[in-house]
Homo-oligomer: A and B are copies of this chain.
Amino acid sequence: MPSPAPARRVAVIGAAGFGGAVCAHICGRHPSLELAIVTARADAGRRHDELYPAYRVPLELEPFDPDAVAERADAALVAYPHKAAAGAVRALRERGLKVVDLSADFRLEREAYERWYAPHEAPELLEESVYGLPEAHRDEIRGAELVAGPGCNSTAALLALLPLRGRIEDAVVDIKAGVSGAGREATGETHFVSAIDNVNPYKTEGHRHVAELEQELPGVRFAFVPHLLPIDQGILASCYATTTEPLSRDEARELFERAYAGEPFVELLDEPPRTRDVRFTNRATVYVTVVGDRVLSFCAIDNLWKGAAGQAVQDLNLMLGLPEAEGLE
């Protein structure tokens, strides 16, 4: 498959975190992208493949300098924590780069963002930002200069629920998430001895990712509880929805078939999904059934791939006019 156009030069900002590291990994072997620069804050000066040998990115992590990035790259994936991301994104947008931001900073309307997170650092960019779930906003992403990569939990939940859009009143979303979702920081929670042979709910009174669900599926009341599991990479969203009109199993199934017919990365299964089967891939596997008056739907993804870096590259492919799945298979 020849790629006659010159490769697009891409920067990964914040490439020392788990999500950014996978961004660098994917871009580093993408046929139409050239990984031009990787940056880090605390780890600047170290080589990426020293931190992440398996990802095999033979570049030194540099401190973030927007001018240097603008000179050497045409687009950027920004993998900073929220609040820190906004400033970096603004600096890059001002210099004309196309940006996919993996943080929460550009996912929500300002009001919702400030309710769940913090005062917004770059509100003027919210207008141009597009919510980067291709299965819901593909066309807008194609034309966008700034795309906000969805949260990992939200991605799994939305893919389990989107085909029911307009038909559900409320939904219980029970999330099971691996430890890599908690990030690279070593904490009591991510300590092996705390996480192994354990499962526990957290943020039971409200997790910020629910704001994305409320935005994408307006009018639905959600209960949304994440649980931490002793797995590495993976999220399973188990959704229990009440529909406005009764729906048979076949009807529900058909809605999902129609919704995901042409999707390159969503696969509708005949049996419940397993996170293990989508590890290290950009795939989402989905299953839907109806029990009594409830629609039960499940979605498994790798939180660092379809839930973060993989989806960000999928977005970037769309923004750059590349084949949507390129570099992701």
Contact of A279 among B194, B197, B204, B206 (CB under 8 A): B197
Q: State whether B293 touches A199 (Cβ < 8 A).
A: no
Of residues 188 through 202 on chain A, the ones whose CB sits less than 8 Å from some CB of chain B are 188, 190-202
Q: Among the listed stretches A61-69, A105-113, A129-137, A222-230, which one makes contact with chain B, having 4 or more residues with CB under 8 Å of it?
A: A222-230
Task: Quote the shortest CB–CB distance from A227 to chain B (angstroms).
Answer: 7
Of residues 151 through 209 on chain A, the ones whose CB sits less than 8 Å from some CB of chain B are 172, 174, 176, 179-180, 184, 186-188, 190-202, 204-206
Q: How many copies does the complex hold?
A: 4
In the complex, A72 has a CB within 8 A of chain B: no
Q: State whether A238 touches B190 (Cβ < 8 A).
A: no
Q: Among the listed stretches A84-92, A250-258, A267-275, A307-315, which one makes contact with chain B, having 4 or more residues with CB under 8 Å of it?
A: A267-275
Q: State whether B278 touches A202 (Cβ < 8 A).
A: no
Chain A residue total in the interface (Cβ 8 A): 61
In the complex, A294 has a CB within 8 A of chain B: yes
Residues of B near A190 (CB, < 8 A) are 186, 191-193
Q: Which residues of A contact B (CB under 8 A)?
A: 18, 53-54, 172, 174, 176, 179-180, 184, 186-188, 190-202, 204-206, 221, 223, 225, 227, 229-234, 236, 238, 240, 272-281, 285, 287, 289, 291-294, 296, 298, 300
Can you list the 7 inter-chain pairs with the closest CB atoms, starting with the nearest? A198-B276, A186-B186, A200-B274, A53-B277, A179-B192, A174-B174, A192-B195
Apart from A174-B240, A192-B196, A201-B236: 13 A-B pairs, beta carbons within 8 A: A184-B191, A186-B186, A186-B188, A190-B192, A191-B191, A200-B274, A200-B276, A200-B300, A201-B298, A223-B292, A225-B240, A225-B296, A230-B230
